[in-house]
Every structure is written in C-alpha cells, then in structure tokens.
Amino acid sequence: MENTKSPEIVTVSGACCAPRMAKLDQALEKALQGAMSELGLNLHVQKVSLSAVLNGKDALPPEQRQQVLALFQRYNLQCAPMVLINGQVRFAGIPPSAQQVKEVLQAVPSSHA
C-alpha cells in the first residue's frame, strides 16, 4: 500500500454539557483504538467538546463546525458523541463498534495529491 495522507479524525464529546456522557466518550475511544489497532494504524484523533463548538472556541474548519451545529440544533445532546472522518460526520449519537469504525476507515479514500 502506498504511503498516502492519513484520514483526519475528529471526535466531538458531549460530556462537557452532561457528565454522564463520559461513558459514551470512553466507548467511542475504545472503538477507535480497537479499529486502528486491527488495521495497524496510528492516527491522530482530534478531540473537541460540544461546548467549544457551540461557543466558537474550537479549531474546526467552518464546514465541519456547521455539520456539528446542524446536528446539535436538530437532536440536542443526543447527537454526541460524534465522529468526523475527513470532514464528514460518520457516526453521531451512539458510539460505533470497532468493526463499524474499521469498515469506515477502510472505505475512506486516501488523499490523492
């Protein structure tokens, strides 16, 4: 396999707004780590809080920020946790399994220069 640009992964946590959601974040992190381990990947995962996004204090590009805000406006805290891969929301509301993350990572096209 060619060495291409790694997928960009961002997780959005709702635990800042509802501490009980920390368990969902932990399940999400475990699934991400499991999938990356199975695929032999060591990817950086950018983590942001929903409150940072809502207050404009995140480092997300405007397109990603708008996706998160749209989901929040529609579903409130039920949209968290969220996973964005290469700028697209891939999972929201329920932590995916490691197998689901693995399938998405395998299907994500590599960046072409």
Regarding predicted confidence, which is higher, 110 or 26?
26
Residue-wise pLDDT for 59-101, tens only, equals: 899 999 999 999 999 999 899 999 999 999 999 999 999 999 9
The alpha-helical segments, DSSP class H, found in 1-113 are: 22-39, 50-54, 62-75, 98-107
Q: How far is CA 61 from CA 31, 35, 45, 57, 77, in A?
A: 25, 25, 15, 12, 21
pTM recorded for the entire structure: 0.86
Residues 58 and 54: their CA atoms lie apart, in Å, by 9
